[in-house]
């Protein structure tokens, strides 16, 4: 029995090749694709900004500094040029909570140690209105070069050019995980795939757990991502709509219990639905200037490969 792992390893497709099972017989990766590890079940396309001109590549060659490819899967160094490329996203402005309003930068307000994550990802509440930076290469030389920036298929509420390697987007309302973010430019578009996700509302608990069958008692629902503005919640206890529902904060809503859900009925189910409320958080000039200064000073050291 001790020989089986060695045999399995020997049968695995080597880097640069793949098969449906990850084992022999294997097929070399086509030009423009690669597999970097043994046992690959499929070859991946060379990421934007890189290329592979031969079959059987275990890695893709990078375009030079300031250069990219028009799309993924390039097959030649000749495909490299001054094309726009998006590499990552990062939260740059965020309002914390209704009872503790304030703008922070990546979790730390005015922290000089904050650094751009050129290949990072970002997530935040479904109601939008907060800001992310989209990083990349060749993203224009001014606001006039920026068209629409989109999260998934939805256009950002506002788009602000920050530098040739960064654009800011006020996130639209939405749902979903692993969404693409696309920067539309006069000279084309650049998309970073799968690095943006929305955080859905979440119910953690409610109190009291039961009340009189005639209803009319107040129930406090606690959780997360209920909104930094009034999202006009509708609360249901055991499938029945509350007599009154009120938004209190991003972490709390109130319900005046309907008749017939007292006692153990309340333990069965609770649900909160929200109206499509617009939430807009302006990017303060001070913050914008500070982000630009940080990006400017860090630009030479930000890896763009």
The CATH class, in words, for 85-199+280-301 is: mainly beta
Predicted local distance difference test score (pLDDT) of residue 73 = 94
Taking the C-alpha atoms of residue 235 and residue 270, their distance in angstroms, rounded to an integer, is: 7
Tens digit of each residue's pLDDT (9 = 90 or more) over 257-279: 888 776 655 555 778 888 765 55
Predicted local distance difference test score (pLDDT) of residue 160 = 87
Predicted local distance difference test score (pLDDT) of residue 304 = 37
Predicted local distance difference test score (pLDDT) of residue 43 = 96
Tens digit of each residue's pLDDT (9 = 90 or more) over 92-107: 754 443 333 344 444 4
| CATH homologous superfamily for the domain 1-83 | Tumor Necrosis Factor Receptor, subunit A, domain 2 (2.10.50.10)
How many other C-beta atoms lie within 10 A of the C-beta of residue 133? 26
Domain 202-273 indexed as CATH 2.60.40.10: yes
Q: How many CA atoms lie within 13 A of 185 on its CB side?
A: 26
**Residues 82, 138 contacting (CB under 8 angstroms):** yes
**Residues 199, 126 contacting (CB under 8 angstroms):** yes
Predicted local distance difference test score (pLDDT) of residue 298 = 47
Per-10-residue mean pLDDT, the chain, length 305: 54 95 96 96 93 96 88 93 92 50 42 72 87 91 92 92 89 91 90 91 84 83 84 85 90 88 62 70 55 52 37
Beta-carbon contacts of residue 251 (< 8 Å; ≥ 6 apart): 97, 222, 223, 224, 226
Predicted local distance difference test score (pLDDT) of residue 216 = 85
Predicted local distance difference test score (pLDDT) of residue 258 = 87
Taking the C-alpha atoms of residue 73 and residue 49, their distance in angstroms, rounded to an integer, is: 9
Predicted local distance difference test score (pLDDT) of residue 271 = 83
Predicted local distance difference test score (pLDDT) of residue 70 = 87
Predicted local distance difference test score (pLDDT) of residue 10 = 81
One fold for both 1-83 and 202-273? Answer: no
Domain boundaries, the chain: 1-83, 85-199+280-301, 202-273
Predicted local distance difference test score (pLDDT) of residue 149 = 95
């Amino acid at each position: 029995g001790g020989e089986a792992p060695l045999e399995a390893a020997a049968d695995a497709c080597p880097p640069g090749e793949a098969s449906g099972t990850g084992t022999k017989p294997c097929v070399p990766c086509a030009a423009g694709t690669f597999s970097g590890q043994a046992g690959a079940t499929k070859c991946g396309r060379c990421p934007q900004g890189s290329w592979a001109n031969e079959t059987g590549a275990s890695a893709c060659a990078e375009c030079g500094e300031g250069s990219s490819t028009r799309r993924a899967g390039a097959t030649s160094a000749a495909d490299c040029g001054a094309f726009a490329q998006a590499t990552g996203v990062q939260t740059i402005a965020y309002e914390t909570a209704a009872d503790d309003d304030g703008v922070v930068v990546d979790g730390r307000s005015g922290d000089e140690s904050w650094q751009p994550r050129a290949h990072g990802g970002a997530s935040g509440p479904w109601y939008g209105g907060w800001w992310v930076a989209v990083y990349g290469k060749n993203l224009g030389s001014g606001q006039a070069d920026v068209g629409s920036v989109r999260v998934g298929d939805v256009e950002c509420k506002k788009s602000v050019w920050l530098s040739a390697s960064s654009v800011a987007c006020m996130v639209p309302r939405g749902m979903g995980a692993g969404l693409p973010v696309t920067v539309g430019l006069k000279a084309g578009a650049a998309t970073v795939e799968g690095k943006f996700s929305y955080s859905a509302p979440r119910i953690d608990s409610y109190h009291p757990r039961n009340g009189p069958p005639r209803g009319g008692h107040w129930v406090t629902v606690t959780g997360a991502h209920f909104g930094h503005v009034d999202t006009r919640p509708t609360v249901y206890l055991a499938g029945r709509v509350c007599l009154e529902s009120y938004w209190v904060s991003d972490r709390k809503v109130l319900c005046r219990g309907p008749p017939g859900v007292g006692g153990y009925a309340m333990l069965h189910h609770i649900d909160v639905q929200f109206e499509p409320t617009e939430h807009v958080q302006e990017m303060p000039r001070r913050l914008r200037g500070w982000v630009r200064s940080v990006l400017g000073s860090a630009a030479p050291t930000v890896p763009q490969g």
